[in-house]
């Protein structure tokens, strides 16, 4: 069975994430309905909040079986009255440490949602006691399902899908708050790994061709807007096919990896290096003139042979350089630097050619 490519897997994860959000919304709605039924029967009392754990079969299943789900309820004054098994596992507190205490739980919102809160209300959501955070969102009507960041007992953070509802008192005012949250740590880690695979070369870890082209388009647009220079540097390893044919692809891979690491160390922080294909590499050099790019290429051409290998001993590179011209499309610049590289190969290799 063939494995799906990273882009396909990311799309699948996005669909799974939408399904996950629906599941947590259903769990939250079940908890909310149960809470209101308990309050109608018993009033807003400690007993009512304690009965949340035992009243609903659906909610009990969430509380006792779903270790990825945290359910927390607290009074209006911030005293925690319900702390599920999932909350214990996710947050690092025991229920007997949390229930009956104030400010035992801390959480904060993601930056984007904090900015959204400021735009909506003119202020940022608070960071600190769970009751204060819940109250802020209920008061401001921001109680739907959102992605939040929880803070564990040890200070580490992790992402969750979180829904909040107010538990009304006898007069219909918020008498407490109920939250249902699901841990997204594993999903975020997997998404990040798949995204990296989709954008990077698996051997060298450098950007792949598609991602580099996107970076080049952005730099070309920035240059046209601010009239700042940039240049491209493209190089390949001389006679690399002969290396593979003579010593095998494992030796060839070792050379590609070593050369990519050496070049990465020689470039500046703002520069972007990518594997263009096979033994070809390309570098984006912001704020660099044609003369500056040629100097960088000559430095690399002189340095690469100093990297020693058991087989074939050493290698050389041929490079082409080109500076962006005003209004020049990115693909035209790429063709010019590619033509310069091949001109160097046709004239004996181990040299730098300027477009």
Q: Which one from 214, 279, 287, 346 is the annotated catalytic residue?
A: 279
Task: Give residue for tokens 């399904």.
Answer: 19
Distance in Å from the first CA to the final CA of the chain:
46
**279 is a catalytic site residue:** yes
Which residues participate in catalysis according to the annotation? 279
């Amino acid at each position: 069975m063939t494995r799906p490519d990273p882009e396909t897997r990311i799309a699948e994860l996005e669909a799974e994430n939408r399904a996950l959000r629906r599941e947590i919304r259903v769990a939250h709605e079940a908890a909310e309905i149960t809470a209101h039924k308990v309050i109608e029967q018993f009033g807003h009392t400690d007993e009512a909040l304690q009965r949340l754990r035992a009243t609903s079969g659906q909610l009990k299943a969430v509380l006792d079986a779903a270790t990825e789900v945290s359910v927390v309820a607290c009074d209006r004054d911030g005293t925690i009255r319900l702390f599920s098994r999932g909350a214990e596992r996710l947050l690092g507190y025991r229920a007997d440490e949390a229930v009956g205490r104030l400010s035992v739980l801390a959480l904060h919102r993601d930056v984007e949602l904090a900015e959204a809160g400021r735009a909506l209300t003119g202020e940022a959501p608070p960071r600190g006691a769970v009751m204060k955070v819940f109250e802020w969102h209920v008061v401001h009507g921001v109680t739907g399902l959102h992605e939040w960041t929880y803070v564990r007992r040890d200070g580490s953070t992790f992402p969750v899908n979180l829904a909040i509802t107010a538990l009304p008192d006898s007069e219909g005012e918020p008498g407490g708050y109920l939250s249902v949250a699901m841990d997204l740590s594993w999903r975020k880690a997997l998404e990040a790994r798949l995204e990296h695979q989709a954008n990077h070369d698996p051997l060298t870890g450098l950007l792949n061709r598609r991602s580099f082209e996107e970076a080049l388009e952005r730099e070309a647009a920035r240059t046209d807007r601010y009239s700042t220079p940039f240049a491209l540097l493209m190089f390949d390893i001389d006679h690399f096919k002969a290396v593979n044919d003579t010593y095998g692809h494992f030796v060839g891979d070792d050379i590609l990896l070593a050369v990519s690491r050496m070049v990465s160390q020689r470039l500046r922080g703002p520069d972007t290096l990518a594997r263009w294909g096979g033994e070809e590499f390309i570098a984006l050099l912001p704020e660099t003139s044609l003369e500056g790019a040629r100097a960088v290429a000559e430095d690399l051409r002189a340095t690469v042979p100093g990297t020693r290998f058991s087989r074939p001993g050493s290698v050389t590179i041929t490079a082409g350089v080109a500076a962006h011209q005003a209004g020049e499309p990115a693909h035209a610049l790429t063709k010019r630097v590619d033509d310069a590289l091949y001109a160097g190969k046709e004239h004996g290799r181990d040299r730098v050619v300027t477009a």
